[in-house]
Amino acid sequence: MTHEPDPRPIAHGTWDDRKENQLPAPNAERFSPVDTRPEGKRNVQRALDAQSAQMKIMDRSGPPVLAMLQYLGTLASDAYKDRKREKAALVPYISVREAAGAATAYRYRVLRYALGPGVAYGELGAQELTDLLPDAAGPLETLAAAGDLRDSALLGTWSEGHALTVPLLTAARDLHTRVTGAFRPVPCTPVMPWIGAAVTTSQRAQALRKAAALIDAQVASWYSFAFRGPEPADPLTAVIEHLAAAAEWAPLAAQHRRCLELAAADRISRQDATSAVKELAALLDRFDESCYRSAEHQELRGRNRPHEAGEEEPAAEDDSEPGAQGP
């Protein structure tokens, strides 16, 4: 069977945060304009407060004078908030600063997802992402321009606010679609079963078999990461050959067999099961590290290759003067 390598660049940020390897879509609510006017108390809540104060006075569950003072204080506070709100309504009150901050933060998150935390997140990071994905240039520029809106003045109408924030949300969604389709995330770290919750031998055996099954699933995930097309019946050989992980797989395979053998035992102690799963998780981390570093090296080597296969180096120009003879 022919295995076709996946040519897409690696989403290096998913290696540093392997609990969640998906880039979240932009939150539309965070990209919306904000009403900065103070909130007044709703009429329903006012009625409930008044009813509560009246009941306290009637059943004498509290001092009547104190209840009345609390009620009058609530009315005075509501009246003050109403006057403040009416006064604020006469001036611009729509803010786009939070939307601008959300756009800047999402741009940073996309760059971190695609390039990893070790890159410059200014113009250098944006240029590197644009080199890998030219279609991302437009959305990146739109989100970068959102920084100018963080110090913008308040606006008078919602339509003015949406005119500034809708393009930001559109650019963020466009960038999300392009980046998630163009980059391949690193497989997540599987969550090993917790042996401490397993009390009986059968429960510990089930946990050991589950841990062993997670290794098989992780190998399949690395195949999907490294290659295109459907997964074969035995993806292991292709993975360890393509990602040069044979040395790290050998002890992991041995521990995998040990977990299955221990699961078949008549009696399983908690200490044996815990140590087996702990060792299996440590060996899996080494295997994952080897696979990622190998893929990273292959990607870097592909970027630095100056000429495609079959091309020849251009002939050096002769800078000597016509007719000049060597010594």
185, 216, 250 — which closes off a domain? Answer: 185
Of 59-68, 142-151, 210-219, which one has max mean pLDDT? 210-219
> Quick one: 218 and 296 in the same domain?
yes
Please check whether residues 153 and 28 belong to one and the same domain.
yes
pLDDT of 151 > 70? The answer is yes
- pTM of the predicted structure, to 2 decimals: 0.77
Domain total for the chain?
3
pLDDT exceeds cutoff 50 at 89: yes
Average pLDDT over residues 203-224: 96
Is there a domain that residue 309 lies in? Answer: no
Question: Residue 68 pLDDT more than 50?
Answer: yes
207 inside domain: yes
Please report, rounded to a whole number, the percentage of residues in the chain having pLDDT higher than 70: 82
Give the pLDDT of residue 105. Answer: 94
pLDDT given for residue 197 in this prediction: 79
Task: Identify whether residues 100 and 132 lie together within a single domain.
Answer: yes
239/275 same-domain check: yes
The rounded distance, in Å, linking the Cα atoms of 172 and 151 is 20
Is residue 52 located within the same domain as residue 165?
A: no
Instruction: Point out the domain boundary residue: 134, 167, 185.
Output: 185
Does a structural domain hold residue 291? yes
Average the pLDDT over 141-158 and give the result.
87
| Angle at which helices 137-145 and 158-182 cross, to 10° | 140
From 312, 291, 305, select the one nearest 184 (Cα to Cα): 291
> C-alpha distances in angstroms, 185 versus 111, 117, 232, 240, 295?
13, 15, 20, 19, 12
Same domain, 207 and 129: no
pLDDT in tens, 258-298: 999 999 999 999 999 999 999 999 999 999 999 999 999 99
Spatial contact of 156 and 92, defined as CB atoms under 8 Å apart: yes
**Domain co-membership, 127 together with 275:** no
> Which pLDDT tens digit goes with each residue over 24-64?
999 999 999 998 876 655 555 666 666 666 666 556 556 66
Domain boundary residue among 88, 103, 118? 88
Task: Name, in order, each residue with C-beta under 8 angstroms of 52's C-beta and a sequence gap of 6 or more.
Answer: none
Range of the domain at 28: 22-35+94-185
Q: Is 148 within a domain?
A: yes
When pLDDT is averaged across residues 89-107 and rounded to a whole number, the result is: 89
Residues 27 and 136 in one domain: yes
Predicted pLDDT at 276:
96
Higher pLDDT, 51 or 163: 163
- Tell whether 121 and 202 lie within a shared domain: no
Of residues 258 and 151, more confidence is placed in 258
Per the CB < 8 A criterion, the answer to whether 11 and 186 are in contact is yes
pLDDT at 91 over 70: yes
Whether 227 and 153 share a structural domain: no
Which phi and psi angles does 52 have, rounded to 5°? -65, -40
27 lies in the same domain as 110: yes
User: Would you say residue 315 lies in a domain?
Assistant: no
- Amino acid letter, residue 278: K
Pick 150 or 71 by higher pLDDT. Answer: 150
Q: Any idea which residue has 């940020």 for tokens?
A: 13
Q: Select the highest-mean-pLDDT range: 18-32, 199-213, 300-314.
A: 199-213
pLDDT for position 108 = 93
Instruction: Specify if 273 maps to a domain.
Output: yes
> For residue 322, is it within any domain?
no
- Is residue 320 situated within a structural domain? no
Same domain for 212 and 128: no
Report whether 140 contacts 107 (CB < 8 A). Answer: yes
Residues 161-189, mean pLDDT to the nearest whole number: 96
Give the pLDDT of residue 239: 96
Cα distance between residue 142 and residue 318, in whole Å? 48
Tell me the C-alpha distance between 172 and 115, whole Å: 17
Strand stretches in 98-252, DSSP E: 184-185, 227-228
> What would the pLDDT profile of 109-140 be if each residue is shown by its tens digit?
999 999 988 776 677 889 999 999 999 999 99
